[in-house]
Structure 1
């Protein structure tokens, strides 16, 4: 089993004669293993797009690495990777928020203005860059980064604060946490008035992945129209409360991206570049 997911989300899917790609070739798609990606790929797993793509799952940073290494053709990639990799974006769908993201959190054992060291969840470069922007712009601090696996207790033993994303962040109750918890999606929207885009579908330019935009949009719509199926399946599989899963996927996560999201993405990349948050090899600067 790859990526710790059940077999029905990992096995090679059956071929489909209606594939938009010529011959027997199926694009190798790397999707994120977090809950927020499930509606995006629901149609690829269970709908009309089933069998058109060879799907595997990984954390966000690994999706980008697989594209760079040539082991995937299309991936849901952290948007900071667009600044360094020669990728073509598949417009229309991705992972964003227009308020609290709920799954992208800054957790601190000190007041935010006193943060000097930051444990960085190594699975998402975008979220760590966002934390740097928020801490610099709103709190006037530029902490030393310490990349670590996403285990909150160990992160806070090693640093003043931690960036936690995805499913591990969903297990943190901001209202009951003994630590100060800042939702980084909400902080970005408060700072800029724009949506925050965390990841987009993108692929190798030589494959012209944008021609597959209709398939990706249809897969997402299929998932959004079957939200209760997803809530039932994923709350049981991930051991999360159904209400949490439902609220997260319907109120926090934005999966269909429009002009406002494009503007927010452009502004984020400009801010990240201004802070020199990303080095030429894609590793977050310390």
Structure 2
């Protein structure tokens, strides 16, 4: 009885998302597409997908772009699609690279909010998608637009300075314009006697010029305007800088959610296995990948014409 009283005192009803309630004001995106790109490393993929289904707590569609994995990933994804009705699998005949998978995603993905996780990410925070949607809502209330790409905090990358937040801005969601559940954005105690402020929340965004690409989101209409067809880096990994530059070209603000959900990047710093894979793929594509060679030839020509 004493334990039950303690639970009741914590008011858990304030922190649950009810899918049967009328659409809350903060749900300005109603159709969320979550994507990941896989190439082997099955245990990483399982960890990410398990965390998605345990931590999301609201509807989404999962798009998995598999780069011809041969370690059991294809079989795992087939079983996942059999038991989950919100999974779409796109399988390529060879490893074409993350950037080219994104190029396919521009035509394959449906919805209004694009969210991407590298397959070695694990989501740590419950109701992370509620937090993400409320962050967009707070930005909209503060600026009148949703022209922003938001990144989630990756704990073990912060140790290496991988956030680059230059300015911290607080955006308020007044109680009168908010709806349950309460989140980590709450600016009053749930025990407060001032009930009119019970859902008063403030989202803290760290504005930046560089967004890490392991866990990020952007309105799908802007994702479709990123020039992935022009992106063919000499390195096989590392599209973060390109995404950041494209967002700047499109007039999109970049920001990290400072007081919101957390995730963990399991292969960071990169393992020897991943570095060896990048080195091998780089060599293979330099001699066998026609789109890469065409990009390289155009790049050399541009450099020569600038002289």
Normalised to the residue count of structure 2, the TM-score between the two structures is 0.23
Which structure has more relative contact order (CA 8 Å, sep 6+)? It is 1
Normalised to the residue count of structure 1, the TM-score between the two structures is 0.24
